[in-house]
Amino acid sequence: MPALDFQTLLRQERNRVRHEMDQTNNKTRSGSPRAEESEEGDQHDDDDKEDTTCVNFAARVDALLDSVMASHVQSAAPEDGDMDIMVTAAAKVVEEGEQVRHCLRARLNPEYLTRATTERDLSKHAMRGPPDGVFYVPEYISKEMEQEIMEVAHSMPVNQWVKLRGRRLQCFGGKPTENVRSFQSEALPPWIGQVCRTLMLAGVFDEEIIPNHVLLNEYEPGQGIMAHADGPFYHSRVAIISLGGPAIFRFKRRLIAEEISADSQESGPAGTVVLEPRSLIVFEGEAYHDYLHEIAAVEEEVVGGTEGTTPVLNLERLEGRINVGDRLKRALRLSLTCRRVKEEGEVKDQDDAN
């Protein structure tokens, strides 16, 4: 079966579009009404024209790929008519074609991927508390990206992993200490830096506080992390991307000394969030300052608790994929916890304000 020369197809279509754009621009420059328009109006018209060109080009790419894939599917049929071989070959052509379709659009318009990401308005994903300040985005990353990240993580040398009670982890960006003055920032690996940039483009972090510290955690079935707070040395917004198996994220209210008792210590979580594979959870504000968070060290857990009374903050976002009373069996799970370590001056300013 002949190979698809997508580079040639892309070049031909790009040249066609550029030729049409040149013709359109020449006609526009020769028209007098254009010269009378305001500078602001010119800018808007140029933007509209560029967007239309991109749409037309993307449509042509789609049409080309559809026709080329169809012809290659037909040519994939073996002479002896073996249907299994034909189906396998056709599936491969379609899969490769869809991957190229996405890549061509990205190359056509460099903002294609960015635009797809930034259109996610984080406020639309806010959960109703308590606690307030929790956001959940299902399918935040693709299956392909999930697989790539997991492969990269598992290709790391074993000695780069730190084994802790209930998990193992890798730390990127440096190791924060109680004394922020002793924190030595380190450059993030390119693939980690790209994940952080994606979060910034999605509006999760402002550019000024793009994450500079990332933890890669790995949990096997039966492992978890006890209730804890992230502390004052980070900006009070955390983003966690889940990969692999599901888990339930539990928020527990932080107790002051006067409230601590035997009963209160055994109280259940104030709210839970089901972390699906490829999902994103973000928490800040009340959820960051006034609540602890944990993942139980179990091999199986019940959504909503054994009695079904524990609030599931993202139940509506699950859209029936997972329901109260369902039993979630743990599988190997990785997570990327992305945060921003504060600058020395920011910690000092906060101390002065307290």
Q: How many H-runs (helices) and E-runs (strands) does the chain carry?
A: 11, 13
pTM (2 decimals)?
Answer: 0.65
Comparing C-alpha atoms, which of 333, 338, 295, 330 is closest to residue 219? 333
How confident is the model at residue 316, as a pLDDT?
94
How confident is the model at residue 285, as a pLDDT?
94
How confident is the model at residue 109, as a pLDDT?
43
Let me know if 295 is exposed, middle or buried by CB neighbors in 10 A (0-12, 13-18, 19+): buried
- The CATH code of the domain at 122-353 is 2.60.120.590
Domain boundary assignment for the chain: 6-110, 122-353
Comparing C-alpha atoms, which of 90, 61, 62, 97 is closest to residue 74? 90
Mention every residue, 6+ apart, whose C-beta is less than 8 A from residue 191.
Answer: 149, 152
d(CA 76, CA 3): 11
What is the β-pairing status of strands 271-275 and 134-137? unpaired
Comparing C-alpha atoms, which of 103, 82, 69 is closest to residue 1? 69
d(CA 283, CA 199): 13
How confident is the model at residue 53, as a pLDDT?
42
Token digits for 344? 């020395």
- Mean pLDDT, consecutive 10-residue stretches, the chain (354 aa), reads 47 57 57 40 40 47 58 56 60 58 47 46 87 94 87 86 91 76 78 88 89 95 94 91 97 70 60 96 95 96 91 95 96 96 64 44
